[in-house]
Chain A
Amino acid sequence: KNEVEQSPQNLTAQEGEFITINCSYSVGISALHWLQQHPGGGIVSLFMLSSGKKKHGRLIATINIQEKHSSLHITASHPRDSAVYICAFTGGFKTIFGAGTRLFVKA
C-alpha cells in the first residue's frame, strides 16, 4: 500500500461545480501540503496544514489527523483551475508525494 493515496486520479468538471480531491496517508505526519502544478509545469504551494482547516479564496483544505485524511475543495470552479493537484506529507525528514489528481474544468 502506498503511503499516500489520492483520489480521483482524473476529474472533469463543468465550470461552477464544487470540486473535492481526497488524500489519505498511512503514517504519522508533521504537516500535509497541497500543491498545484500548472500545465506548463510550474508548481505552486497552495496550503500547508497540520490540523483543522485553511481557506484561501475559492480553495479550502481540511485535514483529519485521526482519520489520516485530507481534502482539497474548490468552490465555483473555473477553467483556470485546470491543473494537477498533488498532496504531500512531511514526517520527520521525509516528504512523500501523492500521484496527483488531474483536474480539467470545462467552460
Chain B
Amino acid sequence: DAGVIQSPRHEVTEMGQEVTLRCKPISGHNSLFWYRQTMMRGLELLIYFNNNVPIDDSGMPEDRFSAKMPNASFSTLKIQPSEPRDSAVYFCASSFSLRVRGEQYFGPGTRLTVT
C-alpha cells in the first residue's frame, strides 16, 4: 500500500489566493483527519471525518477554511482567501476504526507558505 498520499507537497501562494490541499487515505480506512502544524501551536486537529461524514470540525480556525470528503478515497482542505498566518504544514491521516479510533497513519504533509 502506498500509504496516505497528499498533494501538493509544497505550495507557495500569495495572500488572498485560494489554496486546495488534497488527501487520499489508505484504502479500507474509514476515518480521515486533517491536522495543522506550526512552530507556535504545534500539531492541531482541524477536522475529522468518519465514513465520509464530518464528525468534528471545531478545530477549523475560521470560515475561510473548509473541508470535504466526497468519497472514501479523497478529501480536500480549502483555504479561501489565504492569509500569511495560514502558513504551516498540513497533515492528513487516516485510520480504520469501529467505535474507538484506530491507529492513525500520517501522510507526508503539505508545506504551505502564504506570502
Contact = CB atoms under 8 A, between A and B. Distances in A.
A88 B43 contact: yes
A50 B105 CA distance: 18
A93 B109 contact: no
B25 to A, nearest CB: 14
A88 to B, nearest CB: 7
Interface SS, B side? strand
A28 to B, nearest CB: 13
Contacts of A93: 48, 55-56
Given A43-B91, A95-B33, A48 B103 contact: yes
A90 to B, nearest CB: 5
Size class of the contact patch on chain A: 20 to 34
B100 A30 contact: yes
B64 interface: no
In the complex, which of the residues A50, A86, A93, A94 has the most CB atoms of chain B within 10 Å of its own CB atom? Answer: A93
A95 B45 CA distance: 6
Given A43-B109, A44-B106, 13 more contacts: A35-B106, A42-B106, A43-B93, A45-B103, A48-B102, A86-B43, A90-B101, A93-B56, A95-B33, A97-B42, A97-B43, A97-B45, A98-B42
